[in-house]
Amino acid sequence: MQTRTVIPLVPHDHQPAPMTSHPMPANGKKFFIWTMGCQMNEADSQKVAAMLQEVGYRKAESENDADIVILNSCVVRQAAEDKVAGRLDYLARLKREKPEMPLVLTGCMVTRQQEKLKQRFPHVDLFFNPSDFDKLVAVVPELEMLEDDLASLPHYYQPQLSGNKVGVSAFVPIIYGCNFVCSYCIVPYRRGKETSRPFSDIVTEVERLVDNGVREVTLLGQTVNAYGYDLEEKSSLSRLLTAVDKIPGLERLRFLTSHPKYMGDDVIDAIADLPTACEHMNLPVQAGDNEVLQRMRRTYTRDLWMERIATTREKIAGVTVATDIIVGFPGETEEQFMQTYDMLEHTKCDKVHLAMYSPRPGTLSSRWEDDVPHEEKWRRHQELEKLQLRVCTELNAVRMGETYEVLVESKEKGRWTGRTRGNTLVHFDDDGETDVLGKMVDVRINHTSPWFLMGEAVSAPR
Ligand code: SF4
């Protein structure tokens, strides 16, 4: 699991046309959704926003202005859970002033055993498990008329039509939960076992997104490449990618987050062969030492991960590679840390999401001694930061003079920003005449840095 900057599909005050022809009985009411955590939560919040939009709700600027408040929580770290609890305590005052305003809690903080939560936060009207969207009917009766449509309603609120950001990218959850039990991770306890969404629901959802102007779709799951194994009619991520790729009008297809154990040749071949599948592989490894990986209960070895990366590079021309690393896991010695260092130096990833270990209550590793001192974790973190600075400087320097197709996501201070198919950030100057927001533009690179590329537009927007 990881977090990353989310391409915004932010609800806004503009009142767009609904996706279906349902009447809008809740006209005038407003919702406020507060989201923490990963893209799965972002996508679920979009789905809730889409549902409320369908029955006439509009986005409120703040909780004070809302007729319903929904908190979508994250518990991946204790600090995140504490933040949600703080927000809920703060909202108790508002709830006293507006007792008729439903207050809803969803996300990973909500488990099947909700009694404790109810005792702790008696002012919350509804707790619902992530993806149990139909439960919302209890506090939004207007949704009853949508009941048949809830499963197929896209995880999508209409794109922003004003401001300097645009919604041409959407996240689509395809599998919930996780069957692994990594010793440091709380997710399986909160999100339950892997549950794939029906194949046809996902394809229909992407078709509807594309009909509404989306050009890039990211399929999501805690273990996205485990998709389909739990379905009655067995399927797989590669089959799903193949079906989604055929949707006319879709231009870019991505998926997050993969587990090395499930990264079969079929998925790698799909990226290589399908025109919309972007040449980017995000494959979290977490550590480069086999003993540490074993204690993490990651179920693979360093060699397996390195072999999967090598095969990916062999089969997919120009592919970029990203991974996740945790430093300072309980018992991690200097030699074991150096195994991670050497692996990254050898593999040269385009992006490494680095984290320092912190125990998460309720997990197996939280029962072990957190024996790597904070200063030592920080030093290891800095060592890898420095390494990545060097690696990314080298990798990006080679991109000087190259031309990349960039999907433009935002504009700030007279400069457009977008991403290549390989997920590299690219900035280029605004000519003051052409609006390229949400468009594809070919950009020739004339400046490189470890973290982004800069260049000039060399094509008309399309
Ligand atoms: S694969 Fe491991 S880290 Fe990822 S969600 Fe499952 S248990 Fe957590």
Instruction: Identify which has the larger pLDDT, 363 or 81.
Output: 363
Q: In the prediction, which pLDDT does 151 show?
A: 56
Nearest atom in ligand 1 to the alpha carbon of residue 188 is: 7
Average pLDDT over residues 153-159: 51
For 392-418, write each residue's pLDDT tens digit.
999 999 999 999 999 999 888 889 999
Tell me the HSE value of 196 on the side-chain side, using a 13 A CA sphere. 20
Average pLDDT over residues 91-98: 89
Nearest atom in ligand 1 to the alpha carbon of residue 191 is: 5
* Nearest to 455, CA basis, from 433, 432, 424: 424
Distance 336 CA to ligand 1 centre (A): 21
For 292-307, write each residue's pLDDT tens digit.
999 999 999 999 999 9
Percentage of the chain beyond pLDDT 90 is 61
Residue with CA closest to ligand 1 atom 2: 182
15 neighbors 44 (Cβ within 8 angstroms): no
Distance 183 CA to ligand 1 centre (A): 9
309 neighbors 301 (Cβ within 8 angstroms): no
Rounded to an integer, what is the distance from CA 148 to the centroid of its chain?
27
Q: pLDDT category, 37, cuts 50, 70, 90?
A: confident
* pLDDT of 27 above 70: no
Give the chain's mean pLDDT.
88
Instruction: Pull the structure tokens for residue 87.
Output: 């927000």
384 neighbors 352 (Cβ within 8 angstroms): yes
* pLDDT of 25 above 70: no
Contacts of 14 (CB under 8 A, 6+ apart): 158, 160, 161, 162
**Cα pseudo-dihedral 233, 316, 208, 68, rounded to 10:** 90
Q: In the prediction, which pLDDT does 23 show?
A: 47
Alpha-carbon gap, residue 124 to 103, rounded angstroms: 5
Question: How far is CA 337 from each of CA 47, 334, 375, 377, rounded to the nearest angstrom?
Answer: 41, 5, 14, 10
Which amino acid is present at 319?
A: V
For 252-298, write each residue's pLDDT tens digit.
999 999 999 999 999 999 999 999 999 999 999 999 999 999 999 99
SS3 63: helix
**Cα pseudo-dihedral 457, 460, 461, 462, rounded to 10:** -140
Pocket test of ligand 1: the residue of 76, 108, 176, 180 to mutate, having most ligand atoms within 8 Å of its CB, is: 180
CA angle at 113 for the pair 110 and 117, rounded to the nearest 5°: 55
* pLDDT of 156 above 80: no
Average pLDDT over residues 46-64: 86
Which domains are delineated in the chain? 30-149 (3.40.50.12160), 168-278 (3.30.750.210), 282-397 (3.30.750.200), 403-457 (2.40.50.140)
Return the H-helix or E-strand segment holding 352.
Answer: strand 351-356
Which amino acid is present at 169?
A: S
* pLDDT of 164 above 70: no
* pLDDT of 161 above 70: no
Distance 295 CA to ligand 1 centre (A): 14
For residue 330, the 8-state DSSP code is T
Q: In the prediction, which pLDDT does 78 show?
A: 81
* pTM across the whole model: 0.85
Distance 107 CA to ligand 1 centre (A): 16
Q: In the prediction, which pLDDT does 212 show?
A: 84
Average pLDDT over residues 153-171: 55
Return the H-helix or E-strand segment holding 246.
Answer: none
Alpha-carbon gap, residue 187 to 179, rounded angstroms: 10
Q: Is the peptide bond before 257 cis (omega within 30 degrees of 0)?
A: yes
* pLDDT of 9 above 50: no
Q: In the prediction, which pLDDT does 317 show?
A: 94
